[in-house]
Amino acid sequence: MNKTLIILSIASVLLYSCKEEIPELMTMQAGKDHLFAEKIFIDIGRTIEKGLIDNGQKQVCPSYSTTNTDTSGGGTLTINFGNTNCPQSDGIYRRGKIIVTYTGRYRDSLSVITTTFDNYYVNSNLIEGEKVTTNMGRNDSGNMWFAIDVNDAKINTTNGTINWQSSRIKEWISGRETYFTLDDDTYKITGNSSGNSVNGNDFSVEITDTLNIDLGCLPYCVIKSGEIKVLPNGYPERIINYGDSICDCNVDVMINGTNYPMVIGD
């Protein structure tokens, strides 16, 4: 009888512990979904920059077409990945169109670049929403900087829909001198984001330590260092550290003093 009671007691403790851990693990979803959305829209930004620089004349997929050009340097750029998956060197498949309307060139002060999507997929994920990039000129350090807003984004995944929006400042630190080369470009990012996870839980995000972006990290994740605070609705904050200047997709998530390793996109 005593052995039976002991076994039942141990089972009860284990069951209780598992129940306590489930909410913590479920709310890791907010961090995962934010990092996934962030990675997708950083990638979209680089695709747009490449298109605005050379209109993709050197490649077959995607194809680029420019319409509605005017004397002020404005126009519309359509980046077309076709109706079937278009493989890229980064191993990601894309299809559909990115529509870019711009009032001036990427490097022109006060130019506004507005991006929308037409049946655009990244692997099996449908991307919707709007991205607006405004060139704000140069800051006190002499660096060009941009205001970047992602509005009403939706990422329709096989597990559900991620709703995401962000308001950020991007400072161009290096690589401006090599006009046709993007891989040596580095940026610093500050700002905040918010969204709703595939599990239906709202969250907000604050960049607490400037994110350092290195486009030379491709095809890996391009944020090499920095830290954010994720606040899932109804749960303690999660501190996500992007690492220490290494080109990979590994991050550390701190929850109530315990560290959980995570890989972006998994």
Domain that holds residue 237: 158-266
Eight-state DSSP code of residue 62: S
Instruction: Note whether residue 183 is domain-resident.
Output: yes
Instruction: Note whether residue 151 is domain-resident.
Output: no
Give the residue-averaged pLDDT of 202-214: 97
Instruction: Please check the confidence at residue 20 and state whether its pLDDT lies above 90.
Output: no
Beta strands in 105-159 (DSSP E): 112-122, 125-138, 144-157
Instruction: Please check the confidence at residue 56 and state whether its pLDDT lies above 60.
Output: no
- Quick one: what percent of the chain has pLDDT higher than 70? 87
Instruction: Please check the confidence at residue 24 and state whether its pLDDT lies above 60.
Output: no
53-57 long-range contacts, CB within 8 A, separation 24+: 53/106, 53/179, 53/180, 53/182, 54/180
Question: Which whole-number Å values give the CA distances from 121 to 6, 87, 152, 153, in the listed order?
Answer: 55, 12, 17, 13
Residue 220's pLDDT is 86
Instruction: Note whether residue 128 is domain-resident.
Output: no
Helix orientation angle between 28-54 and 2-26, rounded to the nearest 10 degrees: 30
Residue 57's pLDDT is 57
136 vs 206: CA distance, rounded Å: 22
Number of domains in the chain: 1
Residue 14's pLDDT is 36
Instruction: Note whether residue 114 is domain-resident.
Output: no
202 vs 200: CA distance, rounded Å: 7
Instruction: Note whether residue 229 is domain-resident.
Output: yes
Eight-state DSSP code of residue 209: E
Instruction: Note whether residue 135 is domain-resident.
Output: no
Instruction: Note whether residue 49 is domain-resident.
Output: no
Instruction: Note whether residue 52 is domain-resident.
Output: no
Report the mean per-residue pLDDT for the chain: 88
- Quick one: what percent of the chain has pLDDT higher than 90? 71
Contact (Cβ atoms closer than 8 angstroms) between residue 41 and residue 212: no
Q: pTM (2 decimals)?
A: 0.88
